[in-house]
Structure 1
């Protein structure tokens, strides 16, 4: 009964006119950035953070959440029509979706992606409502040592799930942690890592770092690559699936939904890992695995369901533990902190309208996305013809205005430019910027819990090893890191990274 009461509270927040409007804006923008290759939800949310400052906290998170799961929908459109995934989680969808489009079944592929995404999003919303409150209640029992251990586990998980070299992923984490600690020491007021620049005495502005690393650096990368956008179909028809198709896609949708829901909760998991895992399972379970890669509709249904379920359940550790499971959740934490809200278990009790409003808005968002994606697919197809050289000046101008508006400080614009070229350089060196952003966000919180634990224990470092929960979490993190460092695992990571590149 409590869950129904809480969902009623959430619906009362989500169904208010202004929150419906912000949910609609988020879904439209999410679909748009998913359709347009090269933007993505990380860059878009980073660019839109300044616009959320004047909004109520619930409205801000509802809009940003709509961008995230909306991009999962939109990313499938380019994956199916032009074999160019608009989102990393749609890479797997392109394998069979593009082949279906070449066979004249683009409409069936797009309908499968939309139906699978809607079912997965609906189920994931209810799972979020069921499991998030108990987890928040457990988290209230955590002390500083447990939170520190949990953040260590989260950082190790991001290293495990990043592609490419383990050493480079570890270096990105350390770099993010170091730059996150820049500014004034919270206990001694000593300046750290400011390089003598007064404007950095409060640390690097989160919005400037996020926009530069993911927004502007992505523009530079796309200008360099100049990806081809030749479509196999300029007109999409056949959006109504046959009974045979519905019978084929229902089991993969359900399997993908529950797989994505579980993997989305794990730190470092989420949409991309879920879609790859779902495709592998569907191929193994298929009576004729040879159909996969040649236009198997199950190869679209499973991964699309998995990535949407994973995207939504990744909100559970962010809302209940204050722990980002992926870079988008790190941006969400940044948005909440800017609003004066500390993400964590207290949000459920202190801000129930925010917590339950965001959860209820996800179901509303999934309904809006179905209404947007299928009837308006012709518009999304035409958007793919917009030349990128027209888009990028607008993106740069929007980023610059947004960063400057945060604190009316031109130094933040220069900071964004520095991180833009830094982010581009990292990618050229084969380093993923995602672990860097996670380290940057978690760094200050990690330091605070570490120092608080040591103060309470009077400097006794064994406090992390004498508390059962913290030592268990640290042991799990150590085992996971050791497994990742094994030569055989490292070789597979390098091969996977080479294929993605």
Structure 2
């Protein structure tokens, strides 16, 4: 079946009333959590994972995906109006977006952000539809050594792209891998690191761990910072951008689309990396870089396009290889497994309706987001005035209900509370929890493919060199590692992240 036939099949799935309804719910929820500072898609999706038990597979995955790319839209609203990014990927939007709002051009900034997001998301979805099957067919030729090398390289890239020092990032990945080994060894039947606790025989459950690391930890962090003000809401002018705004914006939108589509595929990269890279690119190609930071509309168009394009293409490794590239994709792996679906190269053959239905729903969701965002800007501004002290008790309650509903066990609530404290401690220590979550998800896959490779080769490590794909990936791994540990490269990395934080 050709590309257009596959897209038509996906649209047939996506336009079913229940799937359209949950696509709208996901887009709306994503917009709301993007607008509300401190409430991100990772924490929200972690809270909603238990609810997907009773939903059809297509509807639940479409809704969770909508939350992710919807949050990229909503984050620009507070970034422009309040100089307060709702999402980390919208941090760079504050630099010029809020300056435009202070100049009475908030409407133009919001409109260009929405247009760029629509273009970037739609084109990136087309990239996913065009190249996803090709990558899937290539993935079918991967053997156990190839998967081991690929996962190892993915963990290395996630370490490089994580905030904080390299040592902290490595520690987080190793800790995640160690947590993933808890439970019964499937090959020997031996208990590993259960400490005599039978509740750990099946390992740590993904949902309470994710809810603790991101949901509870975010609540504690926000309560600590609740005294910080949000600023004054800007007056919103006409939403229609001028002819000069459009002339300056469309090249930035095209560049942001290409850059975001490429960077979204990288492990650990995603929307945040794409938005900062796009802003840097726009400053370099601008005839007058001094305009940036003073209301340059290219500083809004490029990053907002790039972060939405990256949000779409980050699904490529997940759907084709079964490998999550960031914390949100790791949560989606959990959602797929809850529904009895294994994401990866066999998904296209075994679940073509789900594969193409999810892709088609992204086009529908992006159109919905334009309709949701621009007319409801006034509502989002009112929502921002709700005190966080009234919001967090409800979030805590839903966390506890979600954790308990997994196995009707209070132990999962205890696990969630423990990892909530751990997540808060990691924040205070300057350690990013995302590499830990990726290590937790990818660790068992890394171990399984390593042991399978060694069993098939009778314990010979030469099997990783004898396979051309694994050899190529391991060479790339070694070159990347050598480059990263060089002092000059480490200084550039520290400077880049220091610029992001400012």
Q: Which band: TM-score by shorter chain?
A: over 0.9
How many angstroms apart in 2 are the aligned matches of 1:449 and 1:294?
52
Q: For 2:119 and 2:43, how far apart are their aligned partners in 1? A: 27
- The residue that corresponds to 1:148 in the other structure is 148
Aligned residues of 1:208 and 1:403 also touching (Cα < 8 A): yes
1:483-498 equivalences in 2 (<5 Å): 483-498=483-498
1:356 equivalenced with 2:344 (yes/no): no
What is the RMSD of the two structures over their aligned residues, measured on CA atoms? 1.2
C-alpha distance in 2 between matches for 1:194 and 1:374: 51
What is the CA–CA distance in structure 2 between the aligned matches of 1:283 and 1:359, rounded to whole Å? 33
Superimposed CA distance per residue, residues 178-216 of structure 1 (whole angstroms, 9 cap, x where no aligned partner): 001111101111111112211111100100000000110
2:220–2:424 CA contact under 8 A, matched in 1? yes
Q: CA deviation at 1:489?
A: 2.5
Q: How does 1:53-64 map to 2 (within 5 A)?
A: 53-64=53-64
Extract unaligned runs of 5+ from structure 2: none
Aligned residues of 1:79 and 1:90 also touching (Cα < 8 A): yes
Structure 1 position 212 matched with structure 2 position 202: no
- Structure 2 residue aligned with 1:36: 36
Q: Which residue of 2 aligns with 1:267?
A: 267
Alignment check: 8 A CA contact 1:106 1:233 kept: no
The answer to which of 122-131 and 481-490 deviates more is 481-490
Q: Within 1, Cα distance between the matches of 2:422 and 2:485?
A: 27
3-state SS of paired residue (2:287): coil
| Residues 162 and 169, structure 1, Cα contact 8 Å, conserved in 2 | yes
Structure 2 match to 1:298: 298
Judge which range, 229-238 or 425-434, deviates more: 229-238
Q: Does 1:289 align with 2:298?
A: no
**Any idea what SS the aligned residue of 1:460 has?**
coil
Alpha-carbon deviations, 1:117-151, whole Å to 9, x = none? 00111111111100000000000000111011100
Partners of 2:102 and 2:234 within 8 A in 1: no
* Structure 1 residues 227 and 113: alpha-carbon distance in aligned structure 2, compared to 1, 3 A threshold: farther
Equivalent residue number for residue 100 of structure 1: 100
Distance 2:5 2:497 in 1: 46
Is 2:414 aligned against 1:414?
yes
Tell me the residue number matched to 1:405. 405
Counterpart for residue 252 of structure 1:
252
Structure 1 range deviating more: 448-457 or 252-261:
448-457
Question: Would the aligned equivalents of 1:33 and 1:41 in 2 still touch at CA under 8 Å?
Answer: yes
Q: Which residue of 2 aligns with 1:333?
A: 333
Give CA deviations for 1:420-451 in whole Å, capped at 9, x if unaligned: 00011111111110000000000111111111
User: Using the alignment, how far apart are the partners of 1:106 and 1:231 within structure 2?
Assistant: 15
Q: How far is 1:402 from its partner?
A: 0.6
2:145–2:463: 8 Å Cα contact kept in structure 1?
A: yes
User: Normalized against structure 1, the TM-score is what?
Assistant: 0.98
Please give the alpha-carbon distance, in whole angstroms, between the structure 2 residues aligned to 1:206 and 1:314. Answer: 21
Deviation at 1:166, TM superposition (A): 0.4
**Partner residue, 1:130:** 130
> Secondary structure at the residue paired with 2:113?
helix
* Contact 1:30–1:66 (8 Å) recurs in 2: yes
What SS does the aligned partner of 2:54 have? coil
Question: Greater CA deviation, 459-468 or 479-488?
Answer: 479-488
In 2: Cα distance, 1:59 partner to 1:254 partner:
32
| Pairing 1:116-195 to 2, within 5 Å after superposition | 116-195=116-195
Give the TM-score normalised by structure 2. Answer: 0.98
Structure 2 match to 1:449: 449
